[in-house]
Copies of this chain bind each other. A is one copy, B any other.
Amino acid sequence: MKESMNVDPQDKLPLRIVIIGGVAGGASAATRARRCNADAEITILEKGPVVSFANCGLPYHLGGEIKERAQLLVATPELFWNRFKIRVRTGHKVTKIDRNAKTVTGRTEAGQEFKVPYDKLILATGSQPVTPEFARLQAENVFQLWTLDDMDRIIEYLKKRPCKKATVIGAGFVGLEVVEQLAQQDIAVTLVEKLPQVLNPLDPEMAKLIELELKKHQVRVIKNVSVEALLSSNGRVTAVKLDSKESIASELVVVGAGVRPRTELATDAGIEVGSTGGVIVNEYGQTADPDVYAVGDMTEVMHGQLGRRIRVPLAGPANRAGRLAGQHAVHGASIEMGAVQGTSIVRVFGLAAGATGINEKQCRLENRDHRAAIIQAPHHASYFPGAKNLTLKLIYEVGTRRVLGAQAIGAEGVDKRLDVIATLLHFGGTVDDLATLDLAYAPPFGSAKDPIHMAAFVAQNDLAFAPELLAYDAELEGYQVVDVRTAAEIEKLPLPGAIHIPVDDFPERWTELDAGKPTVVVCHSAKRAHIAACLLQGKGFANVKNLTGGMSIRELKEDSP
């Protein structure tokens, strides 16, 4: 380290800030620290070959959608030095933190040992992909996708050996992105997932919409099954053997089995890790050692709806945490990180799917007294050309009326609805807040009653028993089931055992029903059923419910055709 920069006018030594890791929040921390202190000596030690790259973009270069590899290189060491006088040391693997001596030591790729002193240390070591037992074999066609290097190796392999059949193991965000990008290269892709659904942040019926999209694009989806082994021959995997005993012939295997935080360096130095495996930090990214910060995937963050710290290995929170830690390391003050809502989104072929807050599965685990509404609505005014269907699930708490979470799927406008609800979650808003939001409306952009309002109205009605919603997958046995769809709709998607009274005949024909029986009204999307159910309530039916989401969601039940 020959470069020298700042000679302090008062001969005071400049603050020495050392950042371990560039990608997962480290670069944000470094540039923010520089903005807050012109004289600090700021050093990023990065074990990899590049200081900062767009890891979220990797799948898209793999598939050629991002054309140039160089586009993924967000910032170079030269830029950091010229513009910020931040020293970047790539290929520098830190092996030890000495908190007493306030030094970090390690070894360069060339084998040289180094030792760097710090006044403030910021850990941004990120996370690494989990490698399941079955994937620990020597085979040139088994990959994970977490680094530029991973990506390069897949691309090189595909160039060398164009392949027709690939298997992706794990249907999380990266897995789904890889599936899409491989399929767009005319590779027949099988997606294997050990859970009973893809995209675990969503509830199963919403995930089903993504499964249908995958199937529509010729992806074979196998769920609820574990990989027993990868069968190989001559150093190449030939098939993926499942515990269902089926074997999937595969010329390429990509494993997306989740990530785990890289905390060894921290724990070796006596820095505490929480029950979820992430480093424990305060609202400013500070560990119990006030001179050591940790940010990004390796840490726990406060989850707004769970009310406790969990790991959320996503780029947004990592970047924001890095920025705050960089400032706090200099000034000893910054705004608080605040809670995350676990907001996430992924594109899968023609659909976007995402979630914010908590889902129903989590509500059950947490014993939250929750209810859920599912609506379908066009993403902008239905009469304006190009309106696309949007499915929105809203989860809310009985009693407090607070929104707990939401999930959305559709071709357009999914990100907008998630962001609005994530903003509402930030403030602990209720379904009543949601119903009164003043959102931007013109025909190309929304509706006078946005899907968000519609979902809120449905939730308000549900909470007021006006009428109550019935879960999309509820057992209908014991109910007088009334189907208010048209005959044509029923022919396409029958609901056996239901009494059929089209909604437009309902004001005349409701008298055909038995007011003494528990009744559920059903239509395609639950809008017409609401009208009919209200009528029955008004006519004295004591127990009337509306099947949420209607047949369009009920048909997504796992056991349906």
Contacts and interface: CB of A to CB of B under 8 A. Distances in A.
B448 A318 contact: yes
Interface string A431-446: 0110111111111111
B427 A439 contact: no
B426 A437 contact: yes
Interface stretch (A214-222, A265-273, A415-423): A415-423
Contacts of A323: 457
B82 A432 contact: no
Interface in A71-87: 71-72, 74, 79, 82-85
Contacts of A38: 534-539
A278 interface: no
A338 interface: yes
B426 A436 contact: yes
Most chain B CB atoms below 10 A, which of A54, A425, A503 = A54
Nearest to A78: B504
Interface stretch (A113-121, A284-292, A343-351): A343-351
A531 B422 contact: no
Interface stretch (A122-130, A225-233, A255-263, A381-389): A381-389
B384 A448 contact: no
Interface residues of A, number: 104
A340 interface: yes
A383 B426 contact: no
B535 A441 contact: no
Interface string A398-437: 0000000000000000111011101111110100110111
Contacts of A440: 343-345, 354, 356, 414-415, 418-419, 422
Nearest to A510: B38
A143 interface: no
A314 interface: yes
Interface string A346-384: 110000101010000000000000000000000001011
Contacts of A1: none
A513 interface: no
A147 interface: no
A79 B534 CA distance: 17
A345 B445 contact: yes
A116 to B, nearest CB: 21
A39 to B, nearest CB: 6
A37 interface: yes
A420 B440 CA distance: 10
A420 B416 CA distance: 8
Interface in A5-62: 5, 9, 28, 31, 34-39, 54, 56-57, 60
A335 interface: yes
A558 B412 CA distance: 37
A337 interface: yes
Given A39-B538, A57-B443, A352-B445, A438 B426 contact: yes
B432 A429 contact: no
Contacts of A83: 503-504, 506-507, 528, 531
Contact of A426 (B39, B316, B433): B433
Contacts of A317: 438
A530 B84 CA distance: 12
Contacts of A212: none
A66 interface: yes
Nearest to A38: B538
Contacts of A530: 35
A65 interface: yes
A323 to B, nearest CB: 8
Contacts of A536: 38
Contacts of A446: 415
A72 B383 contact: yes
Nearest to A460: B335
Given A343-B440, A426-B433, 11 more contacts: A38-B536, A38-B537, A83-B503, A316-B439, A319-B449, A320-B436, A337-B436, A419-B420, A422-B440, A423-B439, A426-B437
Interface of A: 5, 9, 28, 31, 34-39, 54, 56-57, 60, 65-67, 71-72, 74, 79, 82-85, 173, 304, 314-320, 323, 335-347, 352, 354, 356, 381, 383-385, 414-416, 418-420, 422-427, 429, 432-433, 435-446, 448-450, 453, 457, 460, 466, 503-507, 528, 530-531, 534-540
20 contacts: A35-B530, A54-B383, A56-B381, A57-B384, A65-B385, A66-B384, A79-B504, A84-B507, A304-B438, A316-B448, A320-B449, A345-B440, A345-B445, A356-B438, A414-B440, A415-B416, A418-B439, A418-B440, A426-B429, A426-B438
